[in-house]
Amino acid sequence: MFNKQSDPQNKSVSKKVETIIGPAIKVKGNFHGQGNTVVEGELEGSLKTDADVFVGDNAKILANIEAKTARLGGQISGDIKILSHLEIVASAHITGNIECESLTVESGAVINGEFKMAKSGDSKKESRNKNEEAEAENKMSENQ
């Protein structure tokens, strides 16, 4: 995986990496960042970034993941929310619900959970509609 980063032709992986959890590292905690994140080791907690997440083939993650785009391998237990494209490689064993705009799954990947395919604006619209419905119900209750 790290070799791909030095390949200037692979633009999705060659972006600057802000955080690397190496293969010998085990961490617990809630991570929130704005840059690209690479996980090759073990992570327990949550992982949220405004950029891209790359999970190595031997990584072990017990966490919810939120990112702009992602390439996922390894063992992942947790819900995954990706605003744009999600790539699940053959080494992935995922247990959890997945929400993304577009998806690529390599043959051999194991996924146990529900998929929700939505354009990035759809989640915001759903949330806005639910808030509007709740406000309308509150007004009706106050008027009664």
- 104 part of a folded domain: yes
Residue 85, domain member (yes or no): yes
125 domain-assigned? no
Do residues 92 and 110 make contact, with C-beta atoms less than 8 angstroms apart? yes
Please report whether residue 115 resides in a domain: yes
What distance in Å separates the CA atoms of residue 17 and residue 15, rounded to the nearest whole number? 6
Q: How many domains, in total, are found in the chain?
A: 1
The answer to whether residue 126 sits within a structural domain is no
* pLDDT score, position 26: 96
What are the CA-CA distances from residue 23 to residues 3, 27, 39, 43, 82 (Å)? 15, 11, 8, 11, 24
pTM over 0.75, yes/no: no
Whether 139 is in a domain gets the answer no
Low-confidence ranges of the chain (pLDDT < 50): 1-14
Instruction: Check residue 25 and give its pLDDT.
Output: 94
The pLDDT of residue 111 is: 97
Neighbour-count burial for 59-72, b at 16+ CB within 10 Å, e otherwise: bbbbbbbbbebbbb
Residue 49: which domain range? Answer: 2-119
pLDDT of 15? 65
pLDDT of residue 74: 98
Structural domain includes residue 80: yes
Range list of H helices, 39-143: 120-143
pLDDT of the residue at 10: 40
Residue 12 covered by a domain: yes
